Structure 1
Amino acid sequence: MPRSSGAKLWSTLNKAATRNARRMQRAVNRNITRPMTEAIVRNAVKQSAAVTAATQRALSGVVSPAEPPRSRGSGRWEEGSWGAGPLAPRRYRMFVPAGANGRRRAPMLVLLHGCGQDTASFAAVTRAAAVAREAGWVVLLPEQSSQANGQRCWNWFKPAGQGAVEAGLLMALVEQACRTHPVAADRVSVLGLSAGGAMALTLGLRYPARFAAVGSHSGAVPWSATNATQAARAMRGQRGPDARAVHALRLGLAGRRPPPLLLLHGDADAMVDVSNATAAAALWMQLQPEGAHPLAAVPARRIQRGMRRAVDVFDWTEGKAPYLRLVRVEGLGHAWSGGAGGHAFSDPAGPDGLKLALRFFLAVGG
């Protein structure tokens, strides 16, 4: 029986990916492995080990690799893979707290890493297990493939192409997790860092009925770019969603509000300008359905605890519940606020970003 055109397309893509992988491996052997082997003979063991580690990091697309998370104390880590494309299946890790079972289902947070990270490094940066164990949440960490993006970025800037495919793959994983684990399917939220933040908001706008709330930490405003050049401008705060994109999103929402939104951003972020957070908030305001009860602005609050970085909190409420919250962290660069020390894209001096997020998600019913 002849294969469908779709099957032929995936076959062609996978063959091309295999050829490219072989070509890359030959280039690595010629330009990296062989010279490195000679260097090992010439140099001291310590220096050679450092070069090897740096090369491994470059090839993996992970800036500061971490050991796979282990189950310590209550709760357990699981890992697996899902999907078949584009080009490669994706891996995931999942933390399930003790006490979650078929009769006592837990809320779930989908946590999307940024560029230069994988699930192990992101779990370490965010302290996902410790925070989720304390809060009683399931945490699902999907992992971007280096074949889909060499820097392991989620392709948020291709909303009509690969980005849409990835959003569908992520949604399929969320649905699978809800079917196979003790997850309260109506209490699923998604949060991401940088490219993961932009993809988290993309998911919320594509599948608004499936998420109780969404959040972006240091992410670009979604639907602001359709290629890498435009993405760079958007990250600098020089692009935003145009009128056609807003109109298409409004049609997709079909008269419903987008999910409640949390935005965390440092005002010293030189990679993704903080104006992306205000632009994302403005997009959510534009997407409010006609005739809906207007959101109420709450006076801004400035909060500082101990020696941690100060934050300015801006809230808009729907009735008595928070609906949109923007948290601007003073002096924070392009890094996870309150993250573990010794990792890239992590700032231990900030307030704990994951705890801030879970408080908001709980307040909105996530």
Structure 2
Amino acid sequence: MIDFPAGAWRPASAAMRANRLASANDLVNRTLARHGLAVEPETKSTGTAAHSAPLSDILARFGQSGGRRPEPALPEGATFADDSFTCPAGTRRYRTYVPASARDGVTGLVVMLHGCTQTPEDFAIGTGMNALAETHRFIVVYPHQARGDNAQSCWNWFSRGDQQRDRGEPAILAGLTREAIARHGVPDGRTFVAGLSAGAAMAVILGDAYPELFSAVGAHSGLPTGSAKDLPSAYAAMAGQGSPGNVAGPAVRTIVFHGSADKTVHPSNGEKIARRALDRGPQQSLQHEESGATSGRSFRHCTTYGTDGTEAVEHWVVEGLGHAWSGGQAAGSYTDAQGPDASAEMVRFFFAS
């Protein structure tokens, strides 16, 4: 996944938009080059370079095919509504999955934040979270980051104005979450947030900024709050050279997934998320470590328990996994069908308390 900030830009004059688009395209091209790809025009002459490809092919490989993504399959009685939320900080579209099983009572709500270039529909398909919602009777909200708010549809985790309570994207996401809680009658203490990559970084920010709203955080291939303040520091943080910012107050319960072979967001970032959650978390009574293998990948898994016996922090490292959702569905982008099912493990962790 091209999971780095392509610019936290807002609409301006036509000239400024043109300059910003050119900068964004240059940034995309440089990143594609890092992956051994070069962009060619759609109509090209013979004599193609060894590692070049038409832009349409490259974008398709990176989840930007240009067409509308397929909708997740809906069981009879389930809905996947399209809505939007507006507050002084801005507006975001979002999708809400209400399982057919919710007729027997809603057990909770999970907010799912997609990664760069993804969409809510794509993320729902890739993570398989809707199927788990049917089984466990919880609501799933998928906020959408539009290209008008980031050129690559990344959540602006690296922007100082989007890292704090009641400002920027955290304010918008918290607001739409509260709206969903009220609309669907979600029980107190049963709201959770998870994400992939830029979405995971924003999920961690939300857990830090709104601990009274989100009872637990799931971070897959993400970064800790405050690890970047602008584009240069974002690149450094993604390479494992960033330092988490200072965050006051206790941490919420946190589950972390990261691939050992992640070349986009260095695995040390997952360690930093887990370590800070431990340092700021409740008094700990027990730590349990295990290793194993499932679906073709081995993993290391460490669980730390609070004095009340609740799982406070889980840290999973999946060997050989790149920048992709572990145990995901092949029909979605940035997924790897091998390894432990991150979605199922996050849901188990969320509802264990």
Map Cα deviations across residues 182-238 of structure 1 (whole Å, 9 max, x no partner). Answer: 322420000000010010010000001111111100001221110111011111111
The aligned counterpart of 1:6 is none
Identity of aligned residues (%): 31
CA positional deviation for 1:61: 5.4
Q: 1:202-351 alignment to 2 at 5 Å?
A: 202-241=205-244, 245-246=245-246, 249-250=247-248, 253=249, 257-288=250-281, 294-305=283-294, 307-318=295-306, 319-351=308-340
Distance in 1 (CA, whole Å) between partners of 2:254 and 2:200 is: 11
Q: Tell me which residue corresponds to 1:179.
A: 182
In structure 2, the partner of 1:127 is 128
Give unpaired runs (5+ residues) of structure 2. 1-8, 22-40, 47-52
Structure 1 position 14, deviation (Å): 7.4
Q: In terms of Rg, which structure is larger? A: 1
**What CA distance in whole angstroms lies between the structure 2 residues aligned with 1:130 and 1:100?**
12
Separation in 2 of the partners of 1:162 and 1:18?
28
* RMSD of aligned residue pairs (Cα, Å): 3.2
Identify if the C-alpha distance between structure 1 residues 126 and 58 changes in structure 2 by more than 3 Å, giving closer, same or farther: closer
TM-score, normalised to structure 1, is 0.77
Q: Is the partner of 2:121 in helix, strand or coil? A: helix
Aligned position for 1:32: none
- Alpha-carbon separation, structure 2, partners of 1:230 and 1:95: 36
Deviation of residue 328 (structure 1)? 0.8
**SS of the residue 1:183 aligns to:** coil
Which residue of the partner structure matches residue 3 of structure 2? none
Matched, 1:151 2:140: no
Cα drift, residue 106 of structure 1: 2.5
Aligned counterpart, 1:8: none
**3-state SS of paired residue (1:100):** helix
Q: Is the 8 A contact 1:62 1:117 kept in 2?
A: no
Equivalent position amino acid for 2:312 in 1: Y
Aligned AA (1:272): V
Q: Aligned residue pairs: how many?
A: 318
Please, what TM-score do these two structures have when normalized by structure 2?
0.80
Partners of 1:73 and 1:105 lie apart in 2 by 17
Equivalent positions of 1:54-73 (< 5 A) are 54=57, 66-73=69-76
Matched position secondary structure for 1:304: strand
Which one has more relative contact order, counting CA pairs under 8 Å at least 6 apart? 2
Say which structure is richer in helix.
1
CA distance in structure 1 between the aligned counterparts of 2:298 and 2:230, rounded to whole angstroms: 35
CA distance in structure 2 between the aligned counterparts of 1:106 and 1:274, rounded to whole angstroms? 33
SS of corresponding position for 1:214: strand
Q: 1:362 to 1:162 in 2, by over 3 A?
A: closer
Q: 1:81 to 1:296 in 2, by over 3 A?
A: same
1:98 counterpart residue number = 100
Structure 1 unaligned regions, length at least 5: 1-12, 26-34, 44-49
